[in-house]
Structure 1
Amino acid sequence: MKFVMKFLPALFAIVSIGCSGGGGGGSDTPGQNYNKLNLGDGQLASRVIGQANLTSDSSGTTQTKLKTPYGLDLDPYGVLRVTEFLNNRITTFATIHASSGSGAEAVLGQSSFTSGGANGGAGAGRPAANTLYRPTSAKTFGRKLIVADSFNHRVLIYNSIPTTGNPNADVVIGSLDFVTPMPGVCAANTLHFPSHVTVVNGKLIITDTGNHRILIFDSVPTGNLPSPSLVLGQPDFTTCDSTTINGATASRLYGPTSVWSDGKKFVVADRENHRVLIWNSFPTQNGQPADLVLGQPDFTSNTANIGGISGSSMNLPFSVSANPAGQMFLSEQGNNRVLIWDRFPTSTQQPADRVLGQNSMTTNSAPNPPNAGSMATPGEVIFAENSLIVADSMNNRVLIFDSK
């Protein structure tokens, strides 16, 4: 349980714990043409999901409320899916353009909008094919929905995107079957607190946080307990050590939480090392070292906010994304902000150009109650054609920032 506390420190007081959308390979919504998002430092959000207004932060288990949203996915038709960590569910919203406080249209992982228990109320350690326990990410790929069911130590695949009811998943990764979790086993076909999924050029990429690695499958699996073809962050499939054992390097990871790729460049939010690693070309070898590091002056440093809070330092980076216009976005849980690079980074410790959630690059406050420009431990950040969408996790809301 010690690692869980480090993986999710914001929940310490609570738990004494070609892909769609902008978080994976970019969005392919019909008719979209991407220009750079024009977002200013400390810009106020335009709309909010999960709250009636931009100054409230109460959680709830209803059709209009959220409870610790972590993951986001915007499908090719503009439908937003929100992965709610503490409600153990995924809620579906028809559009990001509705007025603040609009309700969800569907729920997955629970029998109703007013249910939020672990594994549908059965509790921890009792998963089923239609339940979730602390999910952190969900992505659509074609007609499929892929879910990182983190505390059940598995990834679920639905061959048809659920629209009504609470159907069973069709495929499970990381477990023998839908009712037998395998936590703590270090092998090619197991998972330990997976936190993010994405599909790029048909390849499924799983961020296996508790095993300090990224797993890459050549295709989206169709059968249970599949093995990946490539691993990053570890030298092989049977090593699951963190950098606390061997130190930070260009090829080792410590609690990674997110991956972005366009099929060429490959980017990892290496959360516990307080850095982002960039591969200039899609990795082809196990344990391949990164080419570039952000947030640290070199590959062997891993200090939070090294040199002080700035546009070039990091504190628990969580989610990374980039749009076709070349902008890169990064949420930082420890600094309560989202950093924006207007051009894709090309040099070590390159500073960000803009910041959301703070009025400057040198602050990291999280006011309570929140306001339209603040954040508290933000989760996933994704882009739309003219907007940036942020899961403001500890404020129990999703913020939408429209380009000016």
Structure 2
Amino acid sequence: HRVLLWTRLPGAGADGEPADVVLGQPDFTTEGARAAGRGPEAGFHLPTAALIVDGTLLVADAWHHRIAGWTTVPTASGTPPDFVLGQPDPRAIEPNRGGPVDAHTLYWPYGLAWIDGLLWVADTGNRRVLGWHGLPREDRPADLVLGQPSFRDNAENRGGPLGADSFRWPHALAGGAGGFYVADAGNHRVLGWRETPRADRPADFALGQTGLAVGFESQYAPQSATTLRFPYGAAVCDDRLAVADTANNRILLWPEPPTATAAPAGLVLGQESFQGNGENRWKAVAADTFCWPYGIAWNGGLLAVADSGNNRVMIWEEEHHVSRRTRPH
């Protein structure tokens, strides 16, 4: 129930570098939801994503059903947020503000992204993605919704069959000039739009499935470059896509922007081949293994993976191009 900040990136081989700042707790040794019972004003309950945009820090405080925001990145531990989205004030923590879903409310917001001048939130419990034009620095309603016919709807897969315009469990977002992606974890797929949507509309293609109306979990068979199981994370760097294929204990990478359904990944990290999916390759934990990789970030030639089952963050430094082997720190 905390967010850790490092003021500089640890160098190669500097494993175990301590963090400089902790948020959500008064110090580095305290644990527990709501700052160990001190209250939600400065505490978290299962923070799942963090994002910095133009010096503003945003944290998806998922089980408080809100986005916590700091207008400048804090330099002191325990600093309370300056504003929240999804709740009327920093003390409120009810899903959907204790009422019906609408453009002001959130229910388990797990993912955050800044794409094409919009703040995007994966409002997971409401089975939708919300977008704000510009960066909100105070509570205000979302400007657009994906995955539902209106702001007042939140049924799984729109209350009907799985389709190109519905979500079961949207968990993460990523995008750039090469496309816009939503990791629809509950349907075992990543939905892709060739351009960033400006209103609710169907996706153009799906990764991890053979069609836009398919949500099959490939559980008891060898995996491949075209399958996904509970993809919880996604990231884009220079139009290249990385997906945390969480239940398959691997990271899949597309060196070129995918544009068609079932487009195969070009590289796998964490497994010896595209067919493998074992936790830590069914061996001891190592520098090239994962157990339930949950979150992923990719920027400036560095790929960071929250390897949640192994209680660590792994960092790779690119060597010229993603299609070449990278070495973990």
- 1:342 equivalenced with 2:255 (yes/no): yes
Alignment of 1:3-402 (within 5 A): 88-93=1-6, 94-97=8-11, 99-122=14-37, 126-128=39-41, 130-184=42-96, 185-224=100-139, 226-243=140-157, 245-262=159-176, 265-286=179-200, 288-305=201-218, 308-324=222-238, 326-367=239-280, 369-402=284-317
In 2: Cα distance, 1:308 partner to 1:111 partner: 46
CA-CA distance at 1:179 after TM superposition: 0.8
Q: Secondary structure at the match of 1:257?
A: strand
How far, CA to CA, are the matches of 1:316 and 1:269 in structure 2? 9
Structure 1's unaligned 5+ residue stretches are 1-87
Residue 69 of structure 1 corresponds to none
Q: Is the 1:200–1:263 Cα contact (8 Å) retained in structure 2?
A: no
Task: Select the structure with the greater relative contact order (CA < 8 A; seq sep ≥ 6).
Answer: 1
Residue 245 of structure 1 and its aligned partner are, at CA, apart by 3.7
Q: Please give the alpha-carbon distance, in whole angstroms, between the structure 2 residues aligned to 1:176 and 1:182.
A: 10
Amino acid at match of 1:343: E
Task: Tell me which moved more, 162-171 or 190-199.
Answer: 162-171
Cα 1:386–1:143, aligned 2, differ >3 Å: closer, same or farther? closer
Q: TM-score, normalised by structure 1?
A: 0.74
| 3-state SS of paired residue (1:379) | strand
Alpha-carbon RMSD: 1.7
**Gap runs ≥5 in structure 2:** 320-329
Post-superposition offset of 1:305 = 2.2
Task: State how far apart, in whole Å, the 2-side matches of 1:139 and 1:403 are.
Answer: 21
Structure-1 separation of matches of 2:301 and 2:193: 27
- TM-fit CA distance, 1:311: 0.7
Query: Once the two structures are superposed, what CA deviation does each residue of 1:332-391 show, in whole Å capped at 9, x if it has no partner?
Result: 111000001111112210111110011011111013641111101101222243332111
Q: Deviations over 1:56-75 (max 9, x none)?
A: xxxxxxxxxxxxxxxxxxxx
Distance 1:381 1:371 in 2: 18
Stretch moving more, 104-113 or 261-270: 261-270
Q: Specify the code of the residue in structure 2 equivalent to 1:155.
A: I
Identity across matched positions, percent: 32
Counterpart of 1:41 in structure 2 is none
Decide which structure has greater strand share.
2
Per-residue deviation, 1:137: 0.6
Q: Distance in 1 between matches of 2:248 and 2:73?
A: 35
**Separation in 1 of the partners of 2:253 and 2:318?**
13
Alpha-carbon shift at residue 222 of structure 1 (Å): 2.8
- How many equivalent pairs are there? 311
